[in-house]
Structure formats: structure tokens, C-alpha cells
Chain A
Amino acid sequence: MNKYGLISLILTCVLFFLQFIPLGVYFQFENPFVNSHVRIPIQLFTFQDNELFIWGMVTNGVFQNWFEVNILTGIFFLVLLPLAGILTIFGFWKENKTGKKLMNVNFIFLLVILLYSIIGIPIYSEEILGVQFSYFDIFSHLNYGFFILIINLILALIANIKHPIQ
């Protein structure tokens, strides 16, 4: 079992399924049953009232998935990331060459997603945010999700290099 691959998979799931990381979780007998005191935001970028997640965008409390906003971004984020996650599920478990190949694909997909987020988002910023970004503007709007994506990419690289083959 590739432990780094497993951690990469967990981070992928966090980015894809969650809106925030709950800390100080508590249980109450009303709706919602599970609540949390602290919420660590995991959006990739924040620009004014727009929060850009891997799964979509939140503008003034209105949720939209990427296919509603920009199809190309949807393909990169909403297709590649779950695909990377699914391949990692099979890859981290198999201790053979196929598993290593799958971990390699996971790394490449994450790299493509990261590159798209810093190159593609500024290119399509007019369509997504209504403001045209220049090349390096995006770096002044980074949020925790972006750093989680970088950590995920580093772990995917280590998982690829250290994949056990029996």
C-alpha cells in the first residue's frame, strides 16, 4: 500500500467534496446535527465576493458549478480531479507496475490542474469574474485551497517515486 498515495487521495477528496475543513466539531440534536466552531476555507482563490473552489464558485452566497460558469474550467476541475482520485483509489493499493503508472497519472493530472488554475483562470477571468486579470494578478488572491493543492501535488510526486513494487 502506498501511504503517500492514500494521503494524496484524502486531500483530493477534501478539495473536491468540502467547502471548508471543520475544526471544533460538536453534535447537536437539531438541524444540522453536526456543526463546527471553526471553518478553515478551502477555496483556491478569493476575489471580492467571489470564492473559487475546485467544484465551483460561490458569489454572494449563490452556488454555481463550473459547467454553469465556464465549460473548460469544468473539464479541468470537475473531470480531471475526480478522475485523478478514482485512479489513485486503484493505484495506491496495487504494489505493481500498473499501480505506479496510475500514481504517475495522478501526479500528471494534479500538475495540469495546478497549471490551469494559475494560467487558465487569469485567461478566462473576464468570463468567470467579470474582470480581466493580468498574468500575475491571480497570485494576490490565493487562498488555502491553492496551498492544499500544492501539498497534494508534492505528495503525489513522492507517492509516484516511492511506489512499492513487489
Chain B
Amino acid sequence: MAIKSGIFAGILALIIAFIAEIPIYPPENLIMSFKIFASENIDFYFWGYILNGGTIITTLIGLIPESFISLCIWLMIFFIGVSSIMASTKKSKFNNSLKLFKINILLSSLILIIFGIIIFFLVLVNIAFFLNVIGFGYYFTIIILILNLFALRSLKKE
């Protein structure tokens, strides 16, 4: 049987890898932004960042090695998306799925730790700003990690 939590985790990962924001209620200009965190009018996403709500900068298509880390992080979240879906299909092999879910858990933990450290240093002066800084991208990564853990557990049960 297809593992629903794995497929959901994959879709979420692909959404935060490609999409910046989706409208929730257009008349009120209510949007859901998938930024990882925001600091000093800069919104950080997996694919780049937006300065002062206008200038867009991406390091994904810059020169290596400057773009290497950001490219790796983007590829990680893209890999999590694709592999979560592939490991959750009906015809996937048990051993391969097990490995993929473990890799996904490892990668999503790594992403959370990297951005967690950055956010920690940003809010070091006043820890109360913690919730103001973090965006939906970070929360979704936490959800992806939890969903992958659930998927691994249900796979082992099967």
C-alpha cells in the first residue's frame, strides 16, 4: 500500500523548493509565504532571498564555489521531495524505501540544524523574536521530518 505520509512529505518538500508564496484570501491580500526565515527586510527562501520585498537574489546560478552550499541545500530539499514520493509508492522495494526514508530524515535534520543555528545567532540578543523570524518554510521542514519518521515507522510495521 502507498505510504500517504511519505507522499505528503514529498509534495510539501517540492512546494517549498519551488514556490515562493500562495494566495489564501486575495481580497484581504492574505498570502502564505514559504520563507525559511526573515531578518532586516530580507526574506530567505530555499531558492534565494528577497531584499526589501523587491530585489531578488539567487545564489543557485552563481559561480561555483560561491553557489555550492546554497545549491547543495536546494538539491537536498528537492531530493527529499522526489525520494519521499518514490519511496512511498506501491511498487517500491522495501530495502530501497527504508534507505531513502533514513536519508530523508538525515537530510531534513541537517537542513533544520543549519538554519536553526543561523536563526539562533539572529535572535541571540532577544530570544522573544524567535517566532517573528521563523517562516513557514522552516515549520514545513519540521513537518517533513516528522512525516518521514511516520512513513519509516509505517514501512517497518508493514
Using a CB–CB cutoff of 8 Å, the interface residues on chain A facing chain B are 1, 3, 7, 22-27, 29, 36-38, 40-41, 144
Contact = CB atoms under 8 A, between A and B. Distances in A.
Interface in B43-82: 45, 47-48, 50, 56, 58, 60-61, 82
Contacts of A38: 47-48, 56, 58, 60-61
Given A3-B86, A38-B48, A38-B58, A25 B26 contact: no
B19 interface: yes
Contact of B56 (A3, A7, A22, A24): A24
Nearest to A22: B18
Contact of A23 (B21, B23, B26, B48): B48
Given A37-B47, A38-B47, 13 more contacts: A23-B47, A23-B48, A23-B58, A24-B18, A24-B47, A24-B56, A25-B18, A25-B19, A25-B20, A36-B20, A37-B56, A40-B60, A144-B61
Interface string B1-41: 00000000000000001111111001000000000000000
Main secondary structure on B side of the interface with A: mixed
Contact of A24 (B22, B23, B48, B86): B48
A71 B61 CA distance: 32
A37 B50 contact: yes
Interface residues of B, number: 20
Contacts of A23: 17-18, 47-48, 58, 60
Main secondary structure on A side of the interface with B: strand
20 contacts: A23-B47, A23-B58, A23-B60, A24-B19, A24-B47, A24-B48, A24-B58, A25-B19, A26-B21, A26-B22, A27-B22, A27-B23, A29-B26, A37-B47, A37-B50, A37-B56, A38-B48, A38-B58, A38-B61, A41-B61
